[in-house]
Amino acid sequence: MAKDKQAYICSECRATFSKWSGQCPECNEWDTVTEYTPPAASQILGGYTGVRSEVTAMANVAMEDSPRFSTGVQELDRVLGGGLVPGSVVLIGGDPGVGKSTCLLQVCCNLSTSKKILYVTGEESLQQITMRAKRLDLPDKELLLLAETHVEGIIDIATREQPKVMVIDSIQTMQLAGISSAPGGVTQVRESAARLTTFAKQTGTAIFLVGHVTKSGELAGPRVLEHIIDVVCYIEGSSDSRYRVFRAVKNRYGAVNELGVFAMTDKGMKEVKNPSAIFLSHHADPMPGSVVMVIWEGSRPLLVEIQALVDDTYADTPRRLAVGLDPSRLSMLLAVLHRHGNIATYNQDVFINVVGGIKVTETSADLALMLAVASSLKNKPLPNDLVVFGEVGLSGEIRPVPNGQERLQEAVKHGFKHAIVPAANAPKNNIKGLTVQPITKISQALEIF
């Protein structure tokens, strides 16, 4: 047999090369090129045996009435875009210990009372899983368990058992015969996932793949996975916080950036139906540096508290640190604050934190961030029934953000009485119980001090 030809692949951009190099010539990332054995063509295609499919007019494609089914967990359904689609492959990624196995075990046990579900584990023993299900009081009679790491074996068994949903925990432990690299390597992970995906599409089995994230925050190896599978969902949350946020970053069946919020309790993952309340720290007295804002996540508003600490610098260069917000946006907004708000921070360390461990990616946080910095610097608290949102431009202008009305309504629901918002977001009709101050320039917002 001819020796397999060696090749090299970049884990970032997936370009392949015949030579190894320290820096990827395509995307210029360092240390991303690793060895890989390209699978023989016959392995991928099974050999070409003539045309097996036919063209179909779109009008003639049969659509089932409601192909989705609920996972029994509303917050997870929301992230998936309204339920699980048969034949879809969903990657659940997250740090070790964040609760991937726990959450999927809960989903599987609950679904198993009405459907055939297969939970494949390559990491834990069947006893461990059963013990966990018992401890969490889950219905554990019907769920099928399998401890196996060989993908061919799993597919053989799944073909016989025909489960509606299958969990692979985790994809990094899986291996295909005929691929020489170790489990967890780029080639193994990619080819295993591709084989399982083919199985899902052929049989209509929905598959959850569990994927671990490396220290740098990426799925180990499998950025290479993201294009094969249908939904990529990450579980965020630090181990010191109870709360876990599910977020879809790719979804072929629904909107991305839809959030699902859970709390990790001694009885497993519990849904948080009203997540706004948990991202506020509920001080009895107003605190300097703390501002509440409304962000828009997916299809709903969320109240979030931003905290700033501004303190004299004792180093040569002042420190800028933002947890949960983009640090480069922080630097930009500090410059705007200086230029258009007359508040200087060049001799100050600035630390920003978003309460509850949530990541805010929206520009609507700009105004809240600037007011938090100003409030901490001046050591003057803002009223604790005040809510703000708005994007700030480089010339100090306040720009509107989408869904202004709904954001304000969410604030009223949680007892906020004052709002500072972009003029274009000011409601046409008064909202009962809320005084709204519309502004167009950052200097107007700073008049509050």
Q: Which residues of the shown chain bind ligand TYD in the complex (CB under 6 A)?
A: 94, 96-102, 132, 136, 264, 266-268
Nearer to ligand TYD, 10 or 231 (CB): 231
Q: Which option in ligand TYD, Mg ion, none does residue 139 bind, with CB closer than 5 to 8 A by kind?
A: none
Q: State the Cα torsion 334-338-344-345 to the nearest 10°.
A: 10
Q: Which option in Mg ion, ligand TYD, none does residue 237 bind, with CB closer than 5 to 8 A by kind?
A: none
Nearest-angstrom CA–CA distance, 9 and 33: 5
Nearer to Mg ion, 124 or 326 (CB): 124
Q: Which option in Mg ion, ligand TYD, none does residue 93 bind, with CB closer than 5 to 8 A by kind?
A: none
CB 104 within 8 A of CB 71: no
- In whole angstroms, the minimum distance from the beta carbon of 140 to ligand TYD comes to 13
Nearer to ligand TYD, 83 or 237 (CB): 237
- In whole angstroms, the minimum distance from the beta carbon of 104 to Mg ion comes to 9
Q: Which option in ligand TYD, Mg ion, none does residue 211 bind, with CB closer than 5 to 8 A by kind?
A: none
Q: Which residues make up the interface to Mg ion (CB under 5 A)?
A: 101
- In whole angstroms, the minimum distance from the beta carbon of 94 to ligand TYD comes to 6
CB 236 within 8 A of CB 247: yes
- In whole angstroms, the minimum distance from the beta carbon of 351 to Mg ion comes to 33
Q: Which option in ligand TYD, Mg ion, none does residue 222 bind, with CB closer than 5 to 8 A by kind?
A: none
Secondary structure (3-state) at 137? coil
User: Using CB atoms, what's the residue nearest to Mg ion?
Assistant: 101
Nearer to ligand TYD, 97 or 415 (CB): 97
Nearer to ligand TYD, 111 or 133 (CB): 133
Strand partners, 296: 301
Strands 386-388 and 165-169: unpaired
CB 409 within 8 A of CB 303: no
Nearer to ligand TYD, 99 or 381 (CB): 99
Q: Which option in ligand TYD, Mg ion, none does residue 153 bind, with CB closer than 5 to 8 A by kind?
A: none
Q: Which option in ligand TYD, Mg ion, none does residue 264 bind, with CB closer than 5 to 8 A by kind?
A: ligand TYD
- In 89-237, where does DSSP find H-type helix? 100-111, 126-135, 151-161, 186-203
- In whole angstroms, the minimum distance from the beta carbon of 132 to ligand TYD comes to 5
Which own/partner pairs from 282-289 qualify as long-range (CB within 8 Å, at least 24 positions apart)? 283/384, 285/381, 285/384, 286/381, 286/382, 286/383, 286/384, 287/381, 288/375, 288/376, 288/378, 288/379, 288/380, 288/381, 289/372, 289/373, 289/375, 289/376, 289/381
DSSP 19-69: S--SB-TTT--BS-EEEE-PPPHHHHHS---S-------GGG----S---B
- In whole angstroms, the minimum distance from the beta carbon of 123 to ligand TYD comes to 8
202 token code pair: 């052929």
Nearer to ligand TYD, 106 or 307 (CB): 106
- In whole angstroms, the minimum distance from the beta carbon of 305 to ligand TYD comes to 24
Q: For tokens 């709390």, what's the residue?
A: 263
Q: Which option in Mg ion, ligand TYD, none does residue 285 bind, with CB closer than 5 to 8 A by kind?
A: none
**DSSP class of residue 131?**
H
Nearer to ligand TYD, 92 or 231 (CB): 92
- In whole angstroms, the minimum distance from the beta carbon of 369 to ligand TYD comes to 31
Q: State the Cα torsion 72-76-77-81 to the nearest 10°.
A: -170
